[in-house]
């Protein structure tokens, strides 16, 4: 069997990555519309409430992102083994898990919402409105988590266009309903919440229709023992548990960074928030290539083809490094202009400019953690991903403590070191397993 050429691997990476990159870009568009619609209401408390509520759910749902990542890795390996029955049953297991977690979130919504709003510490009026917003938004939890599973399942089959179709539909419905409920019907933050809930269930209906179409193309059948016996979920639980803990560690790192910036005053907090948007912009491209690596690496592991594995990693690395280099160059040449675009407050602009050099080097350091996360998800090596976070934290926190005298530069130094250590740890695992576990478990060309 011939080895895949670099050109064909590049083409596969790009065909998988561009729909994901484009769908990522649609996400901030919805946030802008939410802000614009609520921001034109006569009282700023509604905007504050939506901001608090949306932040709460971003953290809450991000914590269950393993439903997408774990499903992608295991599905792509089943595709590589040409096991259609396994592909079917992984979908069934992931959807049942998503539904169970979603229902549990609704049942436990009151304490979860109260805890989240207490941690966010908004004003009393804004918190009351955010509570109303959150009690509505939580109703979509089963749909949101099921959509994660569906997106992961399709990506594992190298069908990234479904991601684009579902997210474009979700955001389009959400935007239209935002305008209808708030502008047309005179609702406030509750209207924004209901628009999101309806959009999430619309996306689930559309995703379900796409799933039914895809199932008709697969052989095999759903197996009762695979869906109803807990022991059959062992591999899915194991992979997802490591991913869940890894995500909690990453959330802690981000929350700690935000809290320490806030302790230095509102101007530093605002400046750091502006600069974090630089990281978000970079992630749009890097996530696309990492997701493409997940699908191709998982398929090669399932087929036990080391040559395909290595070619896919190299192709994803080429695209990722190009994107990271382009981002660093763009921040070097246009960072000041981007800061000015994101804020018109002179003191925030000046403060953000002081820390802009960190943004110039960040993409070149972070690119490896994005890429290797994708490789390890495809290989379902989630324990190593978890370990990289905690090794990074073991450097991040002491370094922050030692460099507090440097102020916000010390905080950025610690956060950058956290990113670098994550990349280096994953790189070390990759080199070790490439020589030993993975190469020994696949057939070399």
Could you give the 3-state DSSP secondary structure of residue 305? strand
Q: How many CB atoms lie within 10 A of CB 346?
A: 8
Give the pLDDT means over successive 10-residue stretches in the chain (445 positions). Answer: 68 87 73 66 69 78 86 91 90 93 94 83 75 90 94 91 89 89 83 91 96 90 80 85 91 85 80 83 88 90 84 92 94 90 80 92 94 92 92 96 93 95 93 66 42
What's the confidence (pLDDT) of residue 441?
Answer: 47
First-last CA distance in the chain: 8
Rounded to whole angstroms, the Cα distance separating 337 from 96 reads: 47
Closest CA to 150 of 140, 137, 163: 163
10 Å CB burial of residue 261 (0-12, 13-18, 19+) is: buried
Tokens 């802008």 label which residue? 32
Tokens 């921001």 label which residue? 39
Ordered DSSP codes for 372-407: HHHHHHHTT-HHHHHHHHHHHHHHHHHHHHHTGGGT
């Amino acid at each position: 069997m011939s080895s895949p050429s670099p050109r064909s691997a590049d083409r596969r990476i790009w065909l998988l990555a561009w729909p994901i990159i484009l769908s990522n870009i649609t996400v901030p568009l919805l946030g802008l519309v939410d802000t614009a619609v609520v921001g034109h209401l006569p009282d700023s408390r509604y905007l504050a409430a939506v901001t608090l509520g949306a932040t709460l759910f971003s953290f809450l749902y991000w914590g269950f992102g393993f439903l997408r990542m774990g499903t992608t890795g295991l599905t792509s390996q089943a595709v590589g083994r040409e096991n259609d029955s396994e592909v079917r049953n992984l979908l069934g297991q992931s959807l049942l898990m998503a539904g169970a977690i979603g229902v549990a979130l609704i049942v436990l919504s009151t304490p979860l919402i109260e805890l989240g709003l207490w941690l966010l510490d908004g004003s009393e009026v804004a918190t009351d409105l955010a509570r109303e917003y959150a009690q509505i938004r939580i109703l979509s939890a089963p749909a949101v988590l099921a959509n994660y599973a569906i997106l992961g399942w399709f990506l594992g089959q190298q069908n990234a266009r479904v991601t684009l179709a579902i997210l474009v539909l979700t955001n389009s419905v959400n935007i239209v309903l935002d305008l209808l409920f708030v502008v047309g019907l005179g609702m406030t933050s509750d209207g924004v919440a209901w628009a999101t809930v309806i959009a999430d269930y619309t996306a689930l209906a559309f995703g379900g229709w796409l799933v039914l179409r895809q199932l008709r193309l697969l052989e095999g059948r759903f197996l009762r023992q695979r869906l109803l016996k807990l022991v059959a979920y062992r591999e899915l639980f194991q992979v997802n548990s490591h991913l869940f803990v890894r995500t909690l560690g990453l959330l802690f790192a981000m929350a700690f960074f935000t809290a320490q910036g806030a302790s230095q005053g509102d101007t530093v907090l605002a400046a750091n928030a502006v600069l974090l948007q630089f990281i978000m912009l970079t992630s749009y491209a890097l996530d696309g290539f990492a997701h493409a690596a997940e699908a191709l690496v998982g398929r090669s592991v399932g087929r036990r083809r080391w040559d395909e594995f290595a070619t896919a990693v190299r192709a994803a690395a080429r695209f990722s490094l190009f994107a990271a280099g382009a981002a660093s160059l763009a921040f070097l040449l246009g960072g000041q202009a981007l800061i000015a675009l994101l804020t018109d407050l002179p003191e925030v602009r000046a403060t953000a400019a002081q820390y802009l050099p960190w943004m110039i080097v960040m993409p070149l350091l972070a690119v490896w953690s994005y890429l290797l996360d994708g490789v390890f998800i495809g290989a379902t090596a989630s324990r190593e991903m978890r370990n990289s976070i905690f090794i990074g934290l073991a450097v991040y926190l002491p370094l922050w403590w030692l460099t507090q005298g440097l102020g916000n530069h010390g905080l950025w130094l610690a956060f950058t070191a956290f990113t670098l250590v994550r990349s280096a740890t994953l790189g070390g695992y990759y080199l070790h397993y490439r020589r030993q576990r993975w190469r020994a478990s696949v057939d070399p060309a």
